[in-house]
Amino acid sequence: MTSPSPTTSIDHPHGPLVFLHETWVLYRRAVLKLFRRPVILYFSLIQPMVWLLLFGQNFERIAQSPGMSDSFGGLSFLAFFAPAVMLQTILFGAGQSGLGLINDLDSGFLEKLLTTPINRMTILLGRVLGDMTRMMVQAVIILIAAFVGGIRFGADGIQMTITYYYGLPGILAALGIALLFGLVLAGFNVAVALTTRNTESTFLISNFLTLPLMFTSSALLPVELLPDWLQVISSINPVTYAINALRVLLYGPAIAPSGQHVVDTVLIAVGMLSVLAAITLTVGTTRFRYVVR
């Protein structure tokens, strides 16, 4: 009588390189999915582009009226409003982080992934990084559109109403602020999506917060031109600090909030957004761990 031979267990490889590879595979899936269905990218840019063109033209006289030029830092309204449109695009786009996870749940893709020995956190990380890439593409398109929209042809030749004060370094730093802002919203939307597990509810909650956050900030007007009660709300609205940082990085110290240096404006925004990102990503990660446990 012979005893059965012991079974040999095969351990799934693990370590930093495996983690990075798994994240890369899922990130690539998210990016390829975007380029295979570019209609999502195009349609998500329609509303921001309409806002940029309509508000940029209709409010131009306000920025150029007597006594107002200093409040707008000598900028055209198109230039003043462009950073706000960047963040508006990210506000709407971040909702896809949550909706994409719900779609993966409903389609059974997430369930299939959970049957493999893949690190669970790479699923969330690949999704969020893919969404961040889409948001950065959209932000760059907005910057290019604003620059082109600022070209004026007159008797004196071509005039540029929008110039980026710090050049490429300032643009890259501004995109970094926008990316940090996107992480805040991505973490929030992931938490909401995995709590409701419902597309309609997640969409409604996300959009319920989007417009109030924009209109209670310095998106449309400098804070000092807002009503007193709205100035109070604006002072605690993280969108205000993100937009202020984008403006000084793109257009220089002339547009900095009263009494603030460019570095102070940027550091305040980075500090606030970093804290909020840590909170929302922690909550989102906790909810994800609960779902996939």
Mean pLDDT estimate for the chain: 82
Cβ count within 10 A of residue 186: 28
d(CA 186, CA 88): 14
Q: Give per-residue pLDDT as tens, 271-282.
A: 999 999 999 999
Task: Say whether pLDDT at 37 is over 80.
Answer: no
Q: How far apart are CA 7 and CA 22, in angstroms?
A: 28
pLDDT for 180 equals 93
Q: Which residues contact 147 (CB under 8 A, 6 or more apart)?
A: 162, 164
Q: Taking residues 262-287, report their average pLDDT.
A: 92
The verdict on residue 65 lying in a domain is yes
Q: Which of 173, 185, 164, 177 is nearest to 252 (CA)?
A: 164
- Reference 187, options 286, 48, 104; nearest CA is 286
pTM, rounded to two decimals: 0.84
Residue 190 lies in a domain: yes
pLDDT for 219: 86
Cα–Cα distances (Å) from 246 to 94, 123, 201, 258, 272, in that order, read 18, 31, 31, 16, 14
Joined together, the tokens standing for residue 228 give 């007193």
Residue 2 located in a structural domain: no
Residue 103 within any structural domain of the chain: yes
Residue 158 · residue 151 · CB < 8 Å: yes
In which band, very low, low, confident or very high, does the pLDDT at 8 lie, cut at 50, 70 and 90? Answer: very low
Beta-bridge partners for 158: 153
* 251 found inside a domain: yes
Question: How many of the other CB atoms lie within 10 Å of CB of 212?
Answer: 12
pLDDT, tens digit, for every residue of 68-118?
Answer: 777 777 788 888 888 999 888 888 777 777 787 888 888 888 788 878 778
**Span 19-30, mean pLDDT?**
86
Q: Give the ranges where 76-227 is alpha helix by DSSP (H).
A: 77-93, 95-107, 109-114, 120-149, 167-196, 199-215
Q: Please answer whether residues 122 and 22 qualify as being in contact, where contact means their C-beta atoms are separated by less than 8 angstroms.
A: yes
Is the pLDDT assigned to residue 11 strictly greater than 60?
Answer: no
Instruction: Please indicate, yes or no, if residue 3 is contained in any of the structural domains.
Output: no
Q: Is 163 left (phi over 0), alpha (psi -120 to 50) or beta?
A: beta
* Mean pLDDT of all residues in 244-252: 92
The pLDDT of residue 145? 83
Residue 153: pLDDT band with limits 50, 70, 90:
low
**Do the domain assignments include residue 11?**
no
Q: Check residues 289 and 176 and name the one with the higher pLDDT.
A: 176
Whether the predicted pLDDT of 2 surpasses 60: no
pLDDT at 7: 45
Total domain count, the chain:
1
> Are 138 and 41 contacting, i.e. CB atoms less than 8 angstroms apart?
yes
Q: What does the pLDDT look like over 157-173, one tens digit per residue?
A: 566 667 788 889 999 99
Query: Is the pLDDT at 154 greater than 60, yes or no?
Result: no
Assign 10 a pLDDT band (cuts: 50, 70, 90).
very low
Q: Does residue 147 form part of some domain?
A: yes
What does the pLDDT read at residue 1? 47
Task: Give the pLDDT confidence score for residue 9 in this predicted structure.
Answer: 44
Find the domain containing 119 and state its range.
Answer: 17-292
What does the pLDDT average to over 113-124? 81
pLDDT greater than 90 at residue 267: yes
User: From CA 286, how far away is CA 78, in angstroms rounded?
Assistant: 41
